[in-house]
Amino acid sequence: MATPRISAYLPPDIDPTKAALAFGRRALPKLKEELQSPELLTQQRALMALCDLVHDPEKVYQAVALGFLGSLKTLLVHQDQTVRQKTTEVLSVMALHSIGREGLIQSGVISALTGLLDDPVDICRKNTHQTFDMLAKLPAGAGGVLRAGLIPSLVLKLKTELDEIQELILDTLSNCLRVEVSEALAAGVLTVLKEKLSHPSAAIRSKAAWVLLEISSHAEGKVAVCNEGVIPVLVSLLEDTEPEVQVNSAGALMFAIVTPQGRSSAMGAEAIPPLLALVAEETSKARLNAIKTLTLLAELPEGRETLLGHRDAFQRCLLHPSQAVQRAAETAIAVIDWKP
């Protein structure tokens, strides 16, 4: 399905080829002066030059050391959309480098970027969410997003943002909710994710299932997933046409049904047949998750009774080249064969 893409093209009156670049050791100090210039065109050209330079990790290190981040934070609220666009682009490129991520986190850029969530320019919002995504990959960055109180806003934006920005939000949430889920649950994240599991985009369905996996890794998340009726939707996605959606859905299901309520919900949703299909499929990337999920269902008397008739499927997995699959199959067989 074709979707509109966010354009990063600049207005026609801005010519990046005319950006004045200083060379040698004075390049970055000169650009810092130009960023603080009262002349709009000078600021724009300095930002375009800086965008090119910060692809180099050494220049990122120098920019952080020279205090560029303070100037860039100030420019985030500039009235000119080109300034905001290039400023957010600089930050998103700096966030690609480890030294840049550390500098952005320590300088409080996360809080400074919160005002861009409602920016009228699509590319500014996309750059902002790309920065959040990269920073949240670090524990300190995920903690920074949580401390900034961004989770309710991210959940809200997940309802309305463009598809490619939704993907970035889901990536950010997956890292943040690995740390803490209470705030997201209170913000209604499960209702939103349940809707995203039916999204036309396979990437969004897959990422939504991954966020549910992270939520279900917490005790309160497991209970909430069961109470919100998410498990039947995850079961339906086991037959999705996209392998990544199957993998993440099976993984989320595996975490969610650790509780007795979760196992009962999965049995009620008739999870065993599609899980067995994934176990039997030679090329299935979801096979390991499916085996582990079926092992949990085998702990129920009715699950064990059903799976006794499919013991051969697990027996064949003992010959799988992956040792993880072999071990999971051995465990599954032992649970299925157990007699009270």
Contact between 19 and 59 under an 8 Å Cβ cutoff? The reply is no
Closest-CA residue to 291 (of 305, 302, 307): 307
CA distance 315 to 324: 14
pLDDT in tens, 234-251: 999 999 999 999 999 999
Tell me the domain boundaries of the chain: 18-179, 196-339
CATH class, range 18-179: mainly alpha
CA distance 199 to 99: 36
CA separation, residue 232 to residues 1, 138, 223, 262 (Å): 25, 33, 14, 10
Write phi, then psi, for 37 (nearest 5 degrees): -70, 145
CATH of domain 196-339: 1.25.10.10
Beta-carbon contacts of residue 334 (< 8 Å; ≥ 6 apart): none
Task: Output the pLDDT for position 11.
Answer: 58
pLDDT in tens, 167-192: 999 999 999 999 999 999 999 999 99
Residue bearing the bigger pLDDT, 210 or 29: 210
Task: Output the pLDDT for position 283.
Answer: 83
- Domain 18-179 and domain 196-339 have a common topology: yes
pLDDT in tens, 41-64: 999 999 999 999 999 999 999 999
Residues of the chain with pLDDT > 70, as a percent, come to: 92
* Range with lowest mean pLDDT among 8-12, 85-89, 151-155, 241-245: 8-12
Average pLDDT, whole number, for the chain? 92
